[in-house]
Amino acid sequence: VAIHLSRNRSPPKFMCGGSLITNRHVLTAAHCFDTRNQ
């Protein structure tokens, strides 16, 4: 799967990728959702 980020109605940009593990779970890298520096 692809994870895109869009803020303030700006066009979405590619942020990260992941793999579907189940119909409810995506496996991705920890830095994809680490928001401490944002």
Query: 37 or 25: which carries more pLDDT confidence?
Result: 25
φ, ψ for residue 35 (rounded to 5)?
-100, 15
Q: What pLDDT is stored for residue 25 in this prediction? A: 93
Q: Which two tokens stand for residue 25?
A: 């779970």
Handedness of CA 9, 25, 19, 36 (dihedral sign): positive
pLDDT in tens, 14-23: 888 999 999 9
| Proportion of the chain above pLDDT 90, given as a percent | 34
Quote the pLDDT of residue 22: 96
